[in-house]
Chain A
Amino acid sequence: MSLWSEIVQYTISGITSGSIFAIIGICWSFVYLIAKVMNFATGEFVMLGGMITWSLSLKGFGLLQSAVIAILSTTVIAAIVERTVIRPIKHGTELTYIIATIACASVIKGIALLMWGSETRLVKPFFKSEPFQVLGATLNPQVLCVIGYLVIVTGSLALLLNYTLFGKGLRTCALNQINAELIGVDTKKMRLFCFMLAGGLASATGIVTAPITFTGYEVGLLTGLKGLIAAIVGNWTMIGTVSVAMGLGLVEAFSAGFISSGLKDLFTLLIVIIFLVLRTLTFLPGRRWIK
């Protein structure tokens, strides 16, 4: 494999994982902006999507049926999390919500371990076509599904937020809860909705990516965390999140390819720490843009 085709190969895998982080980052920022809660269970929703689809397709359901059931059940689980854990906590600080959602995540993860065991699982690809060659690198058709999914999600969310009354209500809620209530937006319903949307989107991500990256009970934590990194560094906006996620994916793919696959997470985590610390410096020349 020549250097050129290696570079193309890593770019492809970088963009693939970047799209995954982008959608998960959007899930995080939806919940954070509207409910003001860091939902550490987001990564577990990704895991649930993949695992439920795998177990249903093993029982003889078709791919479409099992995917739909997986998305619906994850959405219901997300709604249960909001109603039974987040809403009853009164006067919670930031830390209380973080601990509560981490606890939820560990409960979900533990139950998944008991139900489905600790092996990694593979979901069948959506289309039965062979991988094809692009510039000397192999391109799995499933990658196109992932990228298409990202385009569909970002496009439809942009339409929802900008051109519908409901979407404008969501944006009001993100700006100021009390004002939103004063002008007649049902903020409780909005909070429930954003949790359900995040659950559904995250589980769909899990389903789309399961044929490429495998799935297992433990995939949730790191995938979810990288989505969070993308959302934070992208300053919680959709465009920012997607572009940062792509950058993260590329850094990860190239460091895995050229340096060491064991250390790829180290580099992304270091980059986010350095970025967050640089943000706090007051004398940086480009501060206006990174803030």
Chain B
Amino acid sequence: MRPRKGNLSFLVLIAAIAMLPVLTSNSYVISIMCFVAIYGTLALGMGVLLEHAGIFSLAHPTWFGLGAYFAGIVAIRGIAPAWAGILIGAVCVGLIAYLIGAPLLRLKGYYLTCASFAVLLIFEITFAQFSSITGGHEGLMGIPRLTIGTIVFRKDIHYYYLSWGLCLACFCFLYNLMNSRIGRAIESLHDSEVASSCMGINVARFRLLTFILTAVMASLAGSVFCFYIRFTMPTIYGFALLLEVLTMIVIGGGKKLYGPLVGAFIMIWLRELLHGLMRRILPVMTSEVDAIFFGIAVIVILIFAPHGLSGSLAAFVNKYRRSA
């Protein structure tokens, strides 16, 4: 069974993204759109994890950070070519996610949330403390440029196509996955694990599968991110990133697959707008100050539009179609 309904809008989206650098040569817009793609990939995976599979894991930014650190360390030490670092990172993160996920996913509800939050903080501390490998609090500096074959990724535009390629590939993969037999099994976990195990679904296996798949996606995004900004720091991948990703998922809404992507787009552009507006009033705009505005936004959306903007949009379109 292959879904065809959304194909046209998906093609339009791809065309729009491919045409954007042609329409504007503004490197600021291009670089912000890179961040949208990278954070969007991360939020996409976490949205599937939280809202489709019903696994309340908060450890997702950890996989992003691990991907960045693996790729960065491989590139700096010259263990392998830079592009291989991305793949090595993905494989290693998949293994680590398996080793951590297998015992952790036995937990349910609040307990899983707390244990995964502990995992997030443990990795944040580990990145900061084992300074001989990870560079400590200052992080890894001087990550070389990404080269694939003879192509050197030098400009924003290269990373723009790389990150959007990754993002759309992940989206495509998840879209097809969620409409397949495996996807419907994952979807059923969210509503009732007892019912789905009665239907012959191996609950533990599918929970672990979703966990590892989304972890690998986050790791790929993290590796691209580290080559794009060319340094890594432990604080980037901790609680602050978790807040940002949760904000994206809540704003966009996780029930629709594209929701977190919409959320990432809105949140990152809103943040840029906010920084532009507030620069005169507030001298420092750290992520904690951003969190005031986004915290309020999250609360307002949770109260008035519990399914996020994509959910509200879908409800509105449905209503309009029915009345017309």
Listed in ascending order, the chain A residues whose CB lies under 8 Å from chain B are 38, 84-85, 88-92, 94-96, 98-100, 102-107, 109-111, 113-114, 217, 221-222, 225, 228-229, 232, 260, 262-263, 265-266, 269-270, 272-273, 276-277, 279-280
Contact of B289 with A by CB under 8 A? yes
SS of B interface (majority): helix
Is the CB–CB distance between A262 and B129 below 8 Å?
A: yes
What CA separation (Å) do A175 and B292 show in the bound complex?
35
List, in ascending order, chain B residues with CB within 8 A of A113's CB: 286, 288-289
- Take A102-B243, A273-B115 as given contacts and tell me if A95 and B303 are in contact as well, using a CB distance cutoff of 8 Å: no
Is the CB–CB distance between B125 and A277 below 8 Å?
A: no
Contact of B92 with A by CB under 8 A? no
List, in ascending order, chain B residues with CB within 8 A of A269's CB: 118, 121-122, 125
Task: For the A-B complex with A96-B306, A114-B292, A260-B129 known, give 6 more contacts whose Cβ atoms are closer than 8 Å.
Answer: A38-B110, A84-B299, A103-B246, A107-B291, A107-B299, A266-B126
**Minimum Cβ distance to chain A for residue B7 (Å):** 31
Question: Which residue from A92, A266, A276 sits with its C-beta under 8 Å from B122?
Answer: A266
Is the CB–CB distance between A265 and B121 below 8 Å?
A: yes
Is the CB–CB distance between B106 and A106 below 8 Å?
A: no
What CA separation (Å) do A99 and B294 show in the bound complex?
12
**Minimum Cβ distance to chain B for residue A267 (Å):** 10
**Minimum Cβ distance to chain B for residue A225 (Å):** 7
> What's the tally of chain B residues with a CB closer than 8 Å to chain A?
41
Question: Which residue from B126, B246, B289 sits with its C-beta under 8 Å from A99?
Answer: B246
Closest 7 A/B residue pairs (Cβ): A110-B292, A107-B295, A106-B291, A103-B295, A103-B298, A280-B106, A269-B118
Question: Which residue from A94, A105, A225, A266 sits with its C-beta under 8 Å from B56?
Answer: A94
Question: Which residue from A88, A104, A111, A262 sits with its C-beta under 8 Å from B125?
Answer: A262
Question: Which residue from B119, B125, B243, B302 sits with its C-beta under 8 Å from A265?
Answer: B125
Is the CB–CB distance between A262 and B298 below 8 Å?
A: no
List, in ascending order, chain B residues with CB within 8 A of A273's CB: 104, 115, 118-119, 122
Task: Give residues of chain B (78-126) contacting chain A, Cβ–Cβ below 8 Å.
Answer: 103-104, 106-107, 109-111, 113-115, 117-119, 121-122, 125-126
